[in-house]
Structure formats: C-alpha cells, structure tokens
Amino acid sequence: MKKFVAMMLAAVMCLACMTACGAPAASNVSDGSSIIIGGVGPLTGDYANYGTSVRNGMVQAVEEINAAGGINGMEVVLDFQDSAADPDSAVAAYGKLMDNGMNVFTGGVLSGETASAVAAANEDGVPIVTPTATADAAIVGNPNTFRICFTDSSQGLASANYIADNKMADKVAVFYQSDIDYSVGLYTNFETQCAERGIEIVEVQTFTADTATDFSTQINAIADSGVSLVFIPIYAAEASTFLTQAQGKLDGKIFFGCDGLDGILGKVSDPAVAENVVMLTPFAADDPDAQVQAFVTEYKADNGAAPDQFAASGYDAIYVIKAAVEKAGVTTADADFDAKVVAAMTAIEVDGVTGTMTWGEDGETTKAAKAMIIHDGVAVLYTAG
C-alpha cells in the first residue's frame, strides 16, 4: 500500500513538474473569451511618473476597446506590474504575468527593464509591443518584439536635424548623464549629426547618478560658453534639479531635450523653472487633430491632467496590439496565436495619436517627430521664429 501511494505521489509530482517546467507557456492558450495584455513599469520611485502615465494611457485604450466589443470578440484585460525601475524586478514581474496567463506583453516602460524582460521572454515566443523603451539594444535578440517609440539613436539624430532645420542655433552646449545608456546614446548620435549639419558643440558637461545633486560647476561652464541653446538628453527628475539650480545663470537660453523630459512640469516646484524647455516628441497635447483631441479630452476627464507622450504611447500600444490581433484573425484559443500576431505586425498600418506607424522585420517604426516648448507653464507646439 505504501509503495502504491509513493508511486501515485511520484506520478503527481512528475505531472506537476511537466506543467511548471516543461515547454514554456508560449501562447497561454485560453478559451478565447479574453486576451490578457501584460505590462511592466515603475509605479513607485523617482520614475513613477513615466510608468503611471503609460499605464493610464493603456487603461483608457482598454476601456474604449471593451466598450466597442473587445478584440475579435475577446474582452481585453490589462495586468500592469510595478517594477520600481529595477531590471531584476521587471524580470520577476514578467514571470508573474506569464503565470497569470498573459497573451501579449508590452515590455517595460524604461529601456533597462525592457531589455531584461525581453531577454527573459525570448524562449516563450510571446508577442511584445513596447511603447517607450528607447535604447537601441532594448529589443535586440527577440524577433517577437516591436517598438512604438523612437530609438535613442534616431532621437539624437533628429534633435540635431531639428535644431539645424529650424535655425535654432549653430553653437550649442551639452549637459548629459554619463552613466546611463539613454543619455549617452542620445548624446553620441547628436554629436555625430551635429558635425554633419555644421553645428558646433562648444561645451560638454556631464554628471552621474552619484553627482546628481550639485550642478553648479557645470552650470557655470555652460554660462561661460555663451551659447543660446543647451542640449539636455536627460530624464525629468534630473532636469528639474539642473533647471532649478540654473535659475539666474542660464536665463533666456533654450533647453532642448527628448522624450525623457516629458513630465518636467510635474517635477519642478515653479513652472517658471521650465521656461524655454523644448522636447522632441511624437505627441503634442495641443495638436488640433480630432483623434488626438478626443484622446486628450477623455484622459483629462479620467486623470485630471493632460496626457504626456508616455500616456499617448501606452494608449497607442494597446491599439497596435488590437490591429495586429485583428489582422491575424485569431483568438487566444488558437495554438498559433503568438506566431500569427507577430507576423501580422509587419503587415499593419496604425494611425495613432503619436503618428502613423508601420513596422519592419527589425521591430522598428518610423513616424514624424514634433517639438513642444514650454511657455508660461504650458507646453505648446514649437514654431520657428
């Protein structure tokens, strides 16, 4: 009897092991009544504004889609986990999402956490559509991954081109963070393109996470350079400290950054600190386009503030997933759900609030960039002159 019980227990344990440790739950096949979209991003910590914006945009899209009948008859369920901007936590969150039955992954909000989670997802085959992970390498190595946003390299190039095309300055200073890929990637490509476009970089100042409290030396050097424009490819938290300390020393200068600056008005204590900050972005809340304004109106009603490009990119990511699933003509009950959705990504065109998007085999998209400038506490479309 004991031998029989032992054999039965061994059989049960073997079955459990096969379920937990066997072939990866690539498609998390369900009964097709719902589709679970998982996401990871910082909802706590210094970068919580980015994760919260992305999640809010996703929530709005999910509610709209479900109100209109879902995706191929499936109810959309959003499962968004907090990473606290930590790559290891993002990997753990990805595992939890898969355990919860996730069908499509939106990666991480930040590049580092996305790279870690995308690598972990490589063997599972789950389709990934990341809204805001800009580092070029963040999606490399996983052929099932697609990007909504610009890459760091393209943003660096576009920034130099925008400054040159709009005759904003022919001599500039740069202030960047030398120990994060985002800032270094933007600066490196900006520097290369400035040389191509005849823009002289006359002063370069850097900082690290350990020195991000006192920027007086860098500010004085930039002031002495005499430039009218400072390229600051950094995040909003560090930019708020820099701009606050620059008050009275760099007044009247234009501060030109990229998508990481979005949300700066929520970081500064006085909106005047952010005067003349320009952000290269795919989204402008005051764009008169009817689709954009419908999104902005609803977002304000739900969240009490205008959306930034992180919210817009999160919103678009959900609609891109919808378009791919509909193009593929599948539900989550289909065993080939993953493969067909991935294949559909290169066959769709989506007119989103961040632009009109198509994708190549490399997972990258191209779309037009806009620039916003902050005047009197409000970010408005930049117009030359």
The tens digit of pLDDT for each residue in 119-153 reads 999 999 999 999 999 889 999 999 999 999 989 88
Query: Which pLDDT does position 29 carry in this prediction?
Result: 65
Task: State the virtual CA torsion across 269, 272, 277, 282 in degrees, nearest 10.
Answer: 70
Domain covering 34-150+289-368 assigned CATH 3.40.50.2300 in the classification: yes
88 in helix, strand or coil?
helix
Q: What's the confidence (pLDDT) of residue 17?
A: 37
Which numeric CATH code is attached to 153-281?
3.40.50.2300
Cβ burial, residue 209 (10 Å; 0-12/13-18/19+): exposed
pLDDT in tens, 1-11: 333 334 333 44
Q: Which backbone phi and psi does 38 adopt, to 5 degrees?
A: -105, 150
Query: What's the mean pLDDT when you consider all of the chain?
Result: 90
Q: Residues 348-370: what's their mean pLDDT?
A: 92
Separation between Cα atoms, residue 230 and residue 250, nearest integer Å: 9
Q: What is the pLDDT of residues 74-85, one digit of tens each?
A: 999 999 999 999
Lowest average pLDDT, out of 29-43, 218-232, 332-346, goes to 29-43
Domain-by-domain residue ranges, the chain?
Answer: 34-150+289-368, 153-281
On the question of pLDDT at 226 being above 50, the answer is yes
Query: What is the pLDDT averaged over residues 193-204?
Result: 98
Kindly state the average pLDDT of the residues 161-184: 95
pLDDT at 380: 86
Q: State yes or no: pLDDT of 285 exceeds 50.
A: yes
Euclidean distance between CA atoms 309 and 291, whole angstroms: 15
Same fold, 34-150+289-368 and 153-281: yes
Confidence of residue 181 (pLDDT cuts 50, 70, 90): confident
Q: How many CB atoms lie within 10 A of CB 384?
A: 9
Tell me the two tokens of residue 181.
């890929």
Residue 20 has pLDDT above 80, yes or no: no
Is the pLDDT at 16 greater than 50? The verdict is no
CA angle 336, 339, 340 (to 5 degrees): 80
Confidence of residue 385 (pLDDT cuts 50, 70, 90): low
State the pLDDT at residue 384. 73
Helices (H), the chain: 2-21, 48-67, 87-99, 111-120, 152-165, 181-197, 216-225, 236-246, 290-303, 309-328, 337-345
Task: With a cut of 70, say whether residue 22 has pLDDT above it.
Answer: no
